[in-house]
Structures are given as C-alpha cells and as structure tokens.
Structure 1
Amino acid sequence: MSDFPTHARVVIIGGGAVGASSLYHLCKAGWTDCVLLEKNELTAGSTWHAAGNVPTFSSSWSIMNMQRYSAELYRRLGDEVDYPMNYNVTGSVRLGHTKERLQEFKKVVGMGRYQGMDLNILTPDEIKEVYPFVETHDLTGALHDPYDGDIDPAQLTQALAKGARQMGARIERFCPATGVRREGDDWVVSTPKGEIRCEIVVNAAGYYAREVGKWFGRDLPMMVMSHQYMLFDTVPELEGWTKEVGHKLPLLRDVDSSYYLRQEKNGFNLGPYEGNCKAHWVTKDDPFPEDFSFQLFPDDLERLEWHINDAMARVPLLASAGLSKVINGPIPYTPDGNPLIGPMPGVPNAFEACVFTFGICQAGGAGKVLAEWVTEGATEWDMWSCDPRRFTGFEDPDYCVRKGIEVYGHEYAMHFPHHSWPEGRGKKLSAVHAQTKALGAVYAPYNGWERAAWYARPGDDVSEDAQRTWDREGPWFGAVKEECQAVRDAAGILDLPGFSRFGLKGAGAADWLATQITGKLPSVGRLGLAYFADDKGRIVTEMSVARMAEDEMVLITAATAQSHDWEWLKRHLAPDLSLTDHTTEWSTQILTGPKSRAILGEVTDADLAKGWLTHQTARIAGAEVWLARVSFAGELGWEIHSKVADTEAIWNAVMRAGKGHGLRPFGMFALNSLRIEKGYRAWKGDLSTDYTVLQGGLERFIDWTKPEFRGKSALAAEKQRGLTKRFATLVIEAGELDPPYMATIWKDGAIVGELTSGYYGHRVGACIGLGMLKTEVNQPGTKVEVEIFGTLYPAVVQADAPLWDAKNERIRA
C-alpha cells in the first residue's frame, strides 16, 4: 500500500530554497501537517544554478529585514539541523564611483545600524586594506558589510528540508503537481501519485509560477531573464594570499559598473548584470518549456565583454585567470524586481512565495514571512514591497518583459526620489492627459496611471538624467514652489485619475462597516476618514467613507491600494452585502485654494456654502458630478468626481473659469509638500502595519464606545500599558537634502525613532519630517537629530497641531 499522503493542512508546490524555507518555517510555527511537492529533485529550478550570494544590503526597509533575517538564520542553521553547509561569511565591499552613490551607501548604513548591523563606509585607502588587489584611483569610497558572504544553494535547501522533515513535514520528490480544483472549503491538488486534499496551497514554483498560477485563474506579473556568471581557475597569487591571511577576499560589487566579483576557492566568480540583456520564453520561437530542470541556456559571453574588461581593469589579477565554466540560467523577474510573497489575490486560502530574483539571500526571510501569512494572517514586518496585491492586473506580458529587462539592466541602480523609470509607461491615461501634457506635465506612474508629478516651466530640464539626484533642489523645485504658492494664494487643480473607488450597500452595511473601522461612520450626506486595523491594532489601510444613504457608502482609497483594499473588504464582507469596484468608471480633480469657491461658483449649481466634510451631486458643463468638500492639500477645496466620459468637458470648464482667479495646475510633488505641512499621512509610509493606530497618532479616529471593532482589545491593552513610541512631526535644519524613508532619529548619541516621510514644505519654508519617536522624548520643543545620508541635522519636535493652518480655519472657510 502506498504511503502517499492524501490529506494535509498545507501543500507547497515547488522544492527550491524558498519552498523548502516555507515548509521549514511553517513547521517552526507548529504547522507540521504540510507536504511539499517537487516535480524533479529539490533545487531543480533556479536554485541549483544560483551563485549563492547572501547580501543584507537593500535600500528597502522590509527587504533589508528579510535578508538580514536570512543571514542570521544561515549562520546557525547547519548546527540546528545537523547538516554540513558551506557558508562563507566573507563580508563585502560595494564600490562607489560618485558622490550620489556614496550618499546611497550612507542612507543604507543608517538603516542597517537601526536593524542592528554594523555596516560602515570605507575610504579608497581603507578599501585597499580589506581588498588589496583592487584599483581605487577613481573611487569615492565603498560600503563594507561584514555580514555578506556566499552559501551553497543546494546545501541550504537540503538543510531546510531536513529541518522540516525532522519536525514532521513530508517532501515528495519527482512528484509534480499537475492541477488544482476547489471542493467546498478545500483544495484538491492533483499529482501522478494521487490527489492531496488540503486547506491551503502555496505557489512556490519559481520560474514555473506563472504556469501554476493559471490553475487558480491567476496571470502572474512575471517574466524570465537569462543571467550568466563565469567561474575562473585558480590564481596562484590569490591562493598564496588566502593561505597567508587565513580567509577569503570579501565579495566585491562594482555597482556602478554592474557586476559582482567573488573569490571562488582560489579563483574567481564574475557575475555581470548587463544592459544588453536577454529575456527568454516570450516568443513563439522560444516557448515556455514543459520541463527545464537542471538545464542551462547556451553561453553568450559576447554581450558581457564590456563588463569582463572592466572587471579585469578593476582587479588586474582577474586577467591572469583562466575561464573554466559559464553558467547561464533562468531567473524570474516581476516588473519591480521584488518577489511575490503573500495572499493570492482573488483566491481563498492560496498564497504565493515565488518569482525571486535573489532567492538564496531572501529564502530564509521569505519562509518566515510566508509562514506568518499562512498561520497568523499577517506578518511581523510590513511587507507591502513583496505583496502580490501591489499589482492590479494591468501588467500584461509585454509590460512584464519590458520592466523585467529594465530592472535587470539596472539591478544595481540607485532609486532617486524624483526619478521615474521610462519602460512600460502610458498604460493608463487620464481623460485629460492631452491637456495636462500641453501644460508641461512631467509624469510619474501610480498603479499604472500617469499622473503629473510637476509642471515644467520654459527652460526647466525635464530629462531623465536631471532626475537622478538626491538633492532637494532639482529642476522641479522652483516649479513645485510656484505650484504650492498658487494653491496657498489663489487656487490649484490636480488631475487625479485612478482613485480606488468601491460601492458598499445592503441591509446592515453600516453596522458591518462600523465593526471594521476604528472610528465613527459619518452621517448621511457627510464623509470622513476611516482607519482599518488588524487584530493586533496595526494600521491596515485608510479610506474616505462617504455616506450616501443609511446603508449605502462610497469608499475611496489610494490608487496603489486598489487590489489590497478590495481584498481586505471582500475577505471580511458580511453575507448579503454588495461590494462593487467602480474605479475605472470615475476620474477626479482636486480644486483647492482660497479662490476655489469663486471658480466653482462660475461653473456649477452646487450649494458651495455646505461645510467641510460634506458631499453633494451637482452639474458642471452639463454633466453630473459628485463634489466632496475635502482637500488633501489642506486648503479650502473640493474633490470633483466625474464619470470618465464627462471629465474632459468638466476640466475645460473649470480651467476657463479659473483664468481670472490665478488657477494653476499642480502635481503630486506639490501635493506631497502640501500634505506633509498638515501632518496628513501617506499609505504604506506613515500608515502601515509596522505601527498601531495609537502609535500613528490616530486616537481621534477611535470610537471606544463601540461594543466591538477589529483590533479594539489589542488597542485597549496597548493604551492601558502605555505607548513606547508615538507619531511626531519634526522641523529639520536639513541643508540641501530631504530625509529619505526610514531616516534615523537620534538624541544624545542614541537612536530614538525613525522618519516615515520627509519633504520640504513650501508654505512654511522648512523641511518637515513625519515619523515615530520614543514616548519619553516625544514632547514639543525637544531637540533631536535626524540622520540624512550619513550626516546628523538638528531637528525640533513640534506640537500635535499641523504646521500649516493649525486650527483648520482655511480648510473650513
């Protein structure tokens, strides 16, 4: 009789490092009734040919957390499961050629220090001390990471698999999943050995993930690149040096030339990320293979010639080494280069842990995150950077290929705050795109929607190169200042396509929604902000709720939150309630500033005396509009919501009426400046599951008198024991640079908090930071310091009231 399992709590499809780590971490969480299915031998996909580098470096806070955890796990895993592992913690040297690159390094050093890692910056002379064979004449410095290194991917996978087996999990090798179907509340997974009924399925199928996703009705946003690295024979000088000092060279990354160079035994491993790269399995002549286990692509060294020559000039010792082997294998990419880890959008009890470009260094942390999603429904760290719901369905195959090629070719590129990557653009255009373009709009994508970031004036440099700076005063700065001043003194209009917009109605809709949000529902005819907490009281999302009738609401949320917030609502929706997505039917303009009432008065029959946080239907240019008396810019203003077909006529009418009132279009950069002066939070920056509603300074949005709402008990307990940190506003003497996300806040030589937003406020004429501070120093007037690209700048904690229009007199006018 076969002992093939017919039931399991969780089935994982895919036996690479990530699948094995997911199994291991599920078992660590106590979920041992799990089965992993692998079509071939473990590691048969991208894992077997991976180079095995284990960096902790990342400019993303969440991915740095994930990679840091991986490195910590790998250092102890071999002993924990009693499995031999070749894990070489050599450290790394990441070379910088420019001032901007050193600024990036200093930013990451600050983040790493906050996470407990001893990263540091090396001068060119200090680089030679740790890597004597490198040429440093044209370098500005380097980042040294003592935790970096390399690991044998097969040993890592086998160690994780052994640990999972020891805890009771099953691994079925040479047993491909061939399909899934839903029966009642269960999944049934088909294999050649039989069927397995389970509660939960995890797609960890690597570059096969898109094929597996189709079984669930999913079209995963991914593509496959070929990546080559070269192994070089023993170099006698390197062998002698290694014997003399007793350790290997640190891993060298020349990020401005886009390659890594690693000591491999007593030779070298060179891995470039070339700009003239190649996608695979995207044409009829190159179809996706049924099986590519333990296979490689043919060598293609010609396209790597520049990088090889550059590496030999950087480390002349490499030129004396003989090439022994070329590895050219498939690596999956999402359009932003980050993996998919989390709930499978639109599919119950199914999760994704796939499309890892750097699967070895992220596998440990990814398994932890996946297990938390499955067993707890939430993760310790906010993992929006990897959440599958960050993609919303517009990412067709052509877009995925174009973005994947772009990400690969810029793998080590810096991500500047005002720079937008050019590939895959123009996917979603506003109804008034032609008008905003004619006015000088410079666009940035938001969930695929092209929105004006700023409006260039004659002579402003709109080239992509001009955006590549950390400095505050790029070519946009003067224009954004004028836009903010227009909003302050007259009026501004912001075209805002793509607001996520959901309709909720049905008997009992209001009662249900009241249990989902922390605060009160607005009365009929009014609107207000609503915060959704998880069971731990952490901030899940923010929506505007407009009450249309007793049991009918319109919920409006960020463009980028469309899939996330829809999923959250659907998952918890009470039976018999109707939830509909109207996002694509509507467009929005923000008309705001002291003269906005006069402008609207010339084009609409609306009652413009209605107060703040009211809404009404009216007509503009013969079309029906919905006017919401609210402004994220913090001035008198309205959101003008209109059907897409009517939007052009409405925009034109408002613009004509505004000519005599100083109306000026403004963009998202100006809106960021305006909102930060009011202390308005941004989603997945200031508002994330890294913080509770109380820590976020949002207690005024909590209705403690309600019998129950999600997260109430956790928040009540937190309030009872007292907050350890709390939201704060800082004014910073920041010099020429605005603070980046997760800039560290210091006091008396100790870290006391972090910034979640930082930008220049043009109405108040100061750099402003929003963030979290330890409660004991979070008092108005307290002097602290903010670390901005390695330099500490003085800052002062402000009172809870907004820096601009503290009493909200302008917004209520």
Structure 2
Amino acid sequence: MASFPTQAGFPTQARAVIIGGGIVGCSTAYHLAKLGWKEVVLLERNKLTSGSTWHAAGLVGQLRTSANITQLLKNSVELYRKLEAETGLSTGWKMNGGLRLACNAARLTEIKRQATTAHSFGLEMELLTPAEAQKLWPPMRVHDVVGAAFLPTDGQANPADITQALAKGARGGGVTIVEDCRVTAIKTKAGRATGVVTAQGEIATEVVVNCAGQWAREVGRLCGVNVPLQSVQHQYLVTEPIDGVPRNLPTLRDPDSLIYGKEEVGGLVVGGYEPNPIAWALKGIPEGFHFSLLESDWGHFEPMMGHLLARIPALETAGIKQLINGPESFTPDGNFILGEAPELKNFYVGAGFNAFGIASGGGAGKALAEWVAGGEPPMDLWPVDIRRFGSVHQDPQWVLTRTLEAYAHHYSMAWPHEELESARAVRVSPLYDRLKAQGACFGSKLGWERPNWFAPQGVEPRDVYSYERQNWFDAVGAEHQAVRERVGVFDQTSFAKFMLVGRDAEAAMGWICSNDVAKAPGRLVYTQMLNRNGGIECDVTVTRLAEDSYYIITGTGFATHDFSWIERAIPQGLDARLIDVTSSFAVLSVMGPRSRDTLAAASGADFSNAAFPFGTWQAVTIAGTPVRALRVTYVGELGWELHFPIECAGAVYDAVMAAGRPHGIANAGYRAIESLRLEKGYRAWGSDIGPDHTPLEAGLGWAVKLKQNTPFLGREALTKQAQAPLKKRLAGFTVADPGIVLLGRETIFRDGKQVGWLTSAGWGYTVARNIGYGYVRNPEGVPTDWLRSGRYELEVATERVPAQIHLDALYDPSMSRIKA
C-alpha cells in the first residue's frame, strides 16, 4: 500500500501520475522508482498492455541516425538483459542479433553508411556476403541479395512479459498501479498541471506524464496540449512451427521488399510496411477498445505476402495461426515523442512510437523519468523532443496526411537531403510564386516552404536522390559562387522571430543570454542561451530595438523549442514578456561583396562601413517600405538581413533585384547557405551544437561574457569547465578526393584510434573540398598541439580515407583557398 494519502484505497495525492499502462508508461514508472521517487501512481484505463503493447511484434533494433537516440535504444537492451533476473518474471528477451538485407547497389551503400554510423555510435555492425547472411537465416532465399549487415546485440522480446516485469519492478520500488481507471480531466493552475480527475476520484500531483499510447492525443486535449500522432493499421502474420527454423534465428529486415521477420516458438512472425497504409480511428478510438484487434485485411496484406513468399519459400506450406491487424500510433516524421509539453508546465509526454515502442520502451522510459526528475532532458533528445512540432501539427488532417507518408517511407531508402512530398505549401512566403516561377525547388521545414535551390532555365526543379552528387550539385555551386563573387538574395521569411518587451527586458535577457546583450539600441549580438550545465539550448541573434524591447531571431525549425525555452527561463517577478512575431515580418538576406552597392541603390541610404558597421541595425526605406536592416552574416561575406512587414515582401524583393541586376544578383537557396557556412565554420544548432555541447567545446567561448562579473544561466558550469582541460572540441576536417561524399556521422580516427564522428558535412565549392565538422574526444584532454599533431582519417561507408584537421575557418573573404 502506498505511503501517501488515500481514500478508500485510492491515492488522492502523488508526486507524479503516469497515464497509460503500456511498456512506456511502466518503464517510466520503473525508472522513477529507481530514481527514488516513491509517491508515483500509474493509471491504466483498462489492464496493463491492453492498448497496443500486447500485440506488438517485439523486434528490438538499436541503430538510429542520432547518437543519443541510439544510446537510448542501447539502454533498452541493457535493461532487458537484466530485467528477468531482477524481477523473476520471464521477458522473452533474446539477443539473437539483427540482420538487414540489401538487394541493390543503392541499398548496399545505405547499409555500408549505416555500418559506419553504428561504429561512430559504439555499436558493432558487420557487413556480410549473401552466403553469410543465409547461413544466419537458413529459411530465406538470397538469389537477389547483394549484401547484408548484422548487428549482434539486437534482439527480440515478448512485449507483454517485458511490461509486466517492469510493472513488478515499479511496484517493488513503491509505485502504485491502478487498473480500470480512466482519466477524464487534467487539472491545471497558473500554466501548470496540478492533478488528474478519474471516475474513482481525483489525485493532486506535481507532475503528470502522458504515456497513453494511441489515446495520448485525446489525453493531451484534456489540457490543451497537442500530441500529433495518428493510429494506423499494421498487420503481421504468425505461423505454426516450421521445420528448419532455429530458435536463435536473428530478427530479419528486408527493406527493399518492405518486410521483416522473427522466430517465435519454432515458427515465424512476418510482416511489413505497406506503401499504401490505412489510417484508423479517424473519428476517435472506439469505446471499449481493449485487448482488441481489427478485422484481418488479407487483400491489403496480399502484396506483402508476395514479398514474403519470395524471400521465405517455407511460408508456402506453413500453417497459419493468425493474421494480426493491430493499430499503432505513428507520427508525422517517424520519430517518437518525449518531453515536457510547451503548452503546459509539469505535463510530460511519452508517445507515438511508430511500431518500435518495444525497442524504445526501456530507454525512453529511463530518459523520460530522468527528464521528469531533473527538470530537463538527461541528454540532447532533439530528434524526439515534443518541441520540434509547430502550428501545422495542430491540424489533424495535416498530421494524418504526413503520417501516412512517413509510414510508407518506413523501409524506403533513406536518401540524403530527402524531402517528404505530402501536406506541402501550408506556410509560404509572399514570394513563393515569384520564386517558383524562377525555378525554385522548395523544401519544407515546420510547415514552411523554403527554396532549397534554383534550377537553371530548361532544368526541372526537382530533386533526384542518390548517394553520389545529386542533380542540384552544379546549380547550388553557381549560387554559392554568386554569393562569394557578386551578390545573392535568400528568402528567409520562415525565420522564427520573437519580441521580448517590458521594463525588465534587459535584466531578463542578461540572465538568459551567455553573451553581453546589454547594448545600446541599434546594436545586435550573436549569442547562445545555455542550460544550467552550460549546454547550448538556443543559438540566436538578438537585436536591441529600444530600452524595453529586444528582437530575437532563430531558425525556422526551432520556433516552438526556443520560444518555450526563453519564456520559461525568464526569472520570476520580472516585467518581461515574450511575443511570437514570426508571421509579421518577411526576411530577405542580401549577401556578397556587391551587397553594399545593391542595397545603397535600392534604398538611397549610406551602407558604407563607416556609416553602417558590422553588428548594428538601421531603419531604411526600400520601395516605400520601412525596413530593419541588420548587418550580419551566416555565409562569411559582407551582407545584411532585411526585416520588414510581410505584406510588402513583393515590392521590396523586386526593388532589391532591380538594384542588384547591374551587380549580377542571383537567387540562392538553403543548400547554398549550407555550403557557404561550412566553409566559414559557422555552427548549426541541432547538429554541431546543442544541449550536450558547451560554447567552450564548440569554439564559441569568444561569444560568452565570462570575463564580466555578470551572472547568467550556465555561468557556474562554464567557469568550472574552464578550470580543467576540455575533453572534446569541435574541429573541421577536409577530404580532397571529390569522389568522396561526406554526409555527417562519418567516424573520425586519430592515429588509428576512434575519437568521434562528424556532426555535419558537405561540399565547399570555393575551397573545392569535402568539409565536415565533428567533436574530437580524449579523456586526457584535447589541447591544440595534440589536435594538430595527429594523423586523421574518416570512415566513409566502412572505408577509411585520409583527412586533414582544421581549427580555423577554411575561408575568409580575403582568400579563396584552404587555410593552413
């Protein structure tokens, strides 16, 4: 019995209430108990596992494109290996390895790159011949297989048994689990979750954790929190025992055939991911849907069955136990959802697991519990952070459309630079049609359409994907050259833009920002915003408009994350309010050595260095429009960002283009921005910098006010770090061979020893080199002389290639060559 207040055996008060008794809810409860949280209640609307956990297939793979998400899945495996011994309950865990097939050259390249990513993240992954793969998986045919990869630490588990073992462990740690208890309301006060209401009574609590699976969106709606997921039908076949199927058979994934398989009681469980998925529960999940399945849809499964029969001939004569059609929750980007909701403090979400909830459950529950207990994520979890969503994700129809496309891509080729095609053109700049008519090929970010590149006349503006140089390579090179040599214009209207206003605006920003933003109106400052460990939470440009107002600019995709972070970091009691003004202002970035001439001609204002220094802004007029011109650059050239009322975008753009025509002005897109910033060594949040990296490690110590006696969030951690040798530092790397394509996550070797991986990479057109950035790690420290003295290699698709390290920018405007 719980030691906290109860009424007729029902708890009335708790430190945390977890909603949902599937694997993620039970894992979160288990790990909160491990962290010493005793007053924890888990509420399940029916019985444990009754949602989608009980019918999950149970494959446990670990490799993802993020190091930390891979670590999270590795944590699942570590937990499942010991859970049975700890709790005395069977879990069905088998570390029988995971086999992935390649049936064409492109897929073989993909799995080779996946093997390199695995090595970067500390996973063993072996490349196999078709014959070696068949030896591991005797029932299959390999007539069309060109190669395979094997992860020996992958495995499989019985989902219901794992969950019951976690529940037993949680109870042993003091957690109260209440079944047959539906949550009907979430109580809130002053922007915080304060309790839950159920048919059995109310529970006052400090924290609410929504792990309600397919019901998570419905639970979120109870308190105004958006959880963008969609239930989708997912079918798999269970056979009777089959001769020749060993009990140690690895899990199998054949993505070219869209199928997977595993051994179960001497038979097979086989399924796949259809290119034409069927959504479920469009009008809500039916009442009483517990331990329930949908009607088997053999017609829809027939194409999958054809692929399965071709790969596993024994299925032709195998006895069929059941075709299971169990709905599962999927998300618009194929990643699950973790974290504190931006709409409501102390309300956390762990949901949307895209049919790999069993693989994720152990680690996701651990991470979520640590997030709850610590008030911040235990590591950078941006790929799954609930704050990656935005306004478009409030629309169930948008979520439905994009989620079905993401499901259909579950096993498709993971092409570099791939853009999803559905649910497009929701948020567009007023220049969208103009730029489209000029050959813009758009990408999508948080619902915004943004020009990635411009097709020359006579060329279709369409991406053609490959692992080699893609079809836009030369076009982006021309845009890059225009910015380096003449002048380019970028439509960056999608930038997230906030105003922080109030009598105490300077005090609030002084605490939140690591750089000195106590500047006079007319100045702008590049700064990070740090967590208490010194990790970089936001990477922004701050413009001082007046004594009581700042204008903050951040990346398109970080709108929700950064707004939530800044708003919650404002010290209590200060008169400072944050306002999202993204949709009020258009942004044109005019960059290049002739940008000064172009803007002077367009505005009649003095853009000389003496009159308009770097790091300042001025009000000018272009085409009758008041424009806030910021002298700043992310491409390494002279340039300005122009911010102005969004309804005037067409007039300002036309005037700038007309003024720039004598100077060779050209449209340019985001892929040119990427190549330009790589040459200059500018960092990108979400790859090169983030909560796991401090400014000192990232080479951004110059942008931190440590020399001033001014308190700011994260200062104590940075001061402590500065007193000891750094254990990792961001460095640049180049590979001269143009036949090599760097994409990021390539393994870094120093003197033959693995020391890190690339966080971002691409081609530098001016310096004619492959460029990558990554953290070099060494427990004894990474001083400059040690870094420079090493011999470096990068592992690219399992092959090592020579690389040169660079600790300074590769390019500056005074030279178009590699710096020594």
TM-score (norm 2): 0.94
- The Cα shift of 1:807 comes to 7.3
Note if contact 2:535-2:695 (Cα within 8 Å) is conserved in structure 1: yes
The one of 56, 64, 72 aligned to 1:58: 64
User: Which amino acid letter does the alignment assign opposite residue 379 of structure 2?
Assistant: W
Note if contact 1:778-1:797 (Cα within 8 Å) is conserved in structure 2: no
**Cα deviation digits, residues 450-489 of structure 1 (max 9, x gap):** 111011123545445x22x121x21101101111111111
- The Cα shift of 1:746 comes to 0.5
Structure 2 Cα separation of the partners of residues 794 and 551 of structure 1: 53
Alignment-derived partner of residue 268 in structure 1: 268
Alignment-derived partner of residue 666 in structure 2: 664
Note if contact 1:54-1:360 (Cα within 8 Å) is conserved in structure 2: yes
User: Which amino acid letter does the alignment assign opposite residue 617 of structure 1?
Assistant: A
User: Which amino acid letter does the alignment assign opposite residue 643 of structure 1?
Assistant: P
Q: 1:378 to 1:88 in 2, by over 3 A?
A: same
| 1:247-258 → structure 2 map (5 Å cutoff) | 247-258=247-258
- The Cα shift of 1:736 comes to 2.7
- The Cα shift of 1:806 comes to 7.0
Alignment-derived partner of residue 367 in structure 2: 369
Structure 2 Cα separation of the partners of residues 778 and 518 of structure 1: 28
The one of 704, 714, 717 aligned to 2:717: 714
Structure 2 Cα separation of the partners of residues 476 and 211 of structure 1: 43
The one of 602, 618, 621 aligned to 2:620: 618
Alignment-derived partner of residue 244 in structure 2: 237
User: Which amino acid letter does the alignment assign opposite residue 228 of structure 2?
Assistant: P
Is 1:725 matched up with 2:732?
no
| 1:530-541 → structure 2 map (5 Å cutoff) | 530-541=527-538
- The Cα shift of 1:539 comes to 1.1
Is 1:161 matched up with 2:167?
yes
Structure 2 Cα separation of the partners of residues 264 and 25 of structure 1: 29
Is 1:9 matched up with 2:15?
yes
Note if contact 1:90-1:148 (Cα within 8 Å) is conserved in structure 2: yes
Note if contact 2:751-2:790 (Cα within 8 Å) is conserved in structure 1: no
Alignment-derived partner of residue 509 in structure 1: 505
The one of 94, 111, 116 aligned to 2:117: 111
Structure 2 Cα separation of the partners of residues 761 and 410 of structure 1: 30
**Cα deviation digits, residues 428-467 of structure 1 (max 9, x gap):** 1111001110110011011111111011123545445x22
Alignment-derived partner of residue 630 in structure 1: 632
Note if contact 2:510-2:712 (Cα within 8 Å) is conserved in structure 1: yes
- The Cα shift of 1:744 comes to 1.2
- The Cα shift of 1:607 comes to 2.8
Is 1:793 matched up with 2:806?
no
Alignment-derived partner of residue 427 in structure 1: 426
User: Which amino acid letter does the alignment assign opposite residue 636 of structure 2?
Assistant: G
Alignment-derived partner of residue 811 in structure 2: 804
- The Cα shift of 1:520 comes to 1.1
Give the stretch that moved more between structures: 227-236 or 673-682.
227-236
Provide the secondary structure at the position in 1 that maps to 2:183: coil
Alignment-derived partner of residue 555 in structure 1: 552
Is 1:188 matched up with 2:184?
no
Alignment-derived partner of residue 543 in structure 2: 546
Note if contact 1:251-1:260 (Cα within 8 Å) is conserved in structure 2: yes
Is 1:43 matched up with 2:38?
no
Alignment-derived partner of residue 204 in structure 1: 211
| 1:214-613 → structure 2 map (5 Å cutoff) | 214-238=221-245, 242=246, 247-282=247-282, 287-357=284-354, 358-395=356-393, 396-460=395-459, 462-464=461-463, 466-467=464-465, 469-471=466-468, 473-521=469-517, 522-574=519-571, 575-609=574-608, 610-613=612-615
Note if contact 2:698-2:729 (Cα within 8 Å) is conserved in structure 1: yes
Provide the secondary structure at the position in 2 that maps to 1:163: helix
**Cα deviation digits, residues 115-155 of structure 1 (max 9, x gap):** 33221111112112212232222222111011222111111
Note if contact 1:782-1:796 (Cα within 8 Å) is conserved in structure 2: no
Note if contact 1:606-1:617 (Cα within 8 Å) is conserved in structure 2: no
Note if contact 2:441-2:462 (Cα within 8 Å) is conserved in structure 1: no
TM-score (norm 1): 0.95
- The Cα shift of 1:301 comes to 1.4
- Structure 1: which 5+ residue stretches go unaligned? none
User: Which amino acid letter does the alignment assign opposite residue 725 of structure 2?
Assistant: G
Structure 1 Cα separation of the partners of residues 806 and 409 of structure 2: 40
User: Which amino acid letter does the alignment assign opposite residue 688 of structure 1?
Assistant: G
Note if contact 1:485-1:763 (Cα within 8 Å) is conserved in structure 2: yes
Provide the secondary structure at the position in 2 that maps to 1:716: helix
- The Cα shift of 1:380 comes to 3.0
**Cα deviation digits, residues 71-95 of structure 1 (max 9, x gap):** 1110111112222221122212111
Structure 2 Cα separation of the partners of residues 267 and 38 of structure 1: 32
- Structure 2: which 5+ residue stretches go unaligned? 1-6
- The Cα shift of 1:113 comes to 2.4
**Cα deviation digits, residues 514-540 of structure 1 (max 9, x gap):** 121222114321111111111111111
- The Cα shift of 1:730 comes to 1.4
- The Cα shift of 1:735 comes to 4.1
- The Cα shift of 1:732 comes to 1.8
How many pairs align? Answer: 796
Note if contact 1:339-1:354 (Cα within 8 Å) is conserved in structure 2: yes
The one of 758, 761, 764 aligned to 1:761: 764
- The Cα shift of 1:60 comes to 3.3
Is 1:94 matched up with 2:86?
no
- The Cα shift of 1:415 comes to 2.5
User: Which amino acid letter does the alignment assign opposite residue 231 of structure 1?
Assistant: V
Give the stretch that moved more between structures: 410-419 or 552-561.
410-419
Provide the secondary structure at the position in 2 that maps to 1:515: helix
- The Cα shift of 1:251 comes to 1.4
Provide the secondary structure at the position in 1 that maps to 2:787: coil
**Cα deviation digits, residues 640-677 of structure 1 (max 9, x gap):** 11111001110011112222211000110010000111
User: Which amino acid letter does the alignment assign opposite residue 17 of structure 2?
Assistant: V
Structure 2 Cα separation of the partners of residues 341 and 734 of structure 1: 41
**Cα deviation digits, residues 479-500 of structure 1 (max 9, x gap):** 0111111111111001112111
Provide the secondary structure at the position in 2 that maps to 1:520: coil
Note if contact 1:461-1:475 (Cα within 8 Å) is conserved in structure 2: no
Provide the secondary structure at the position in 2 that maps to 1:695: coil
Give the stretch that moved more between structures: 39-48 or 509-518.
509-518
Note if contact 1:110-1:790 (Cα within 8 Å) is conserved in structure 2: yes
User: Which amino acid letter does the alignment assign opposite residue 53 of structure 1?
Assistant: L
User: Which amino acid letter does the alignment assign opposite residue 509 of structure 2?
Assistant: L
The share of aligned pairs that are identical, in percent, is: 38
Note if contact 2:738-2:769 (Cα within 8 Å) is conserved in structure 1: no
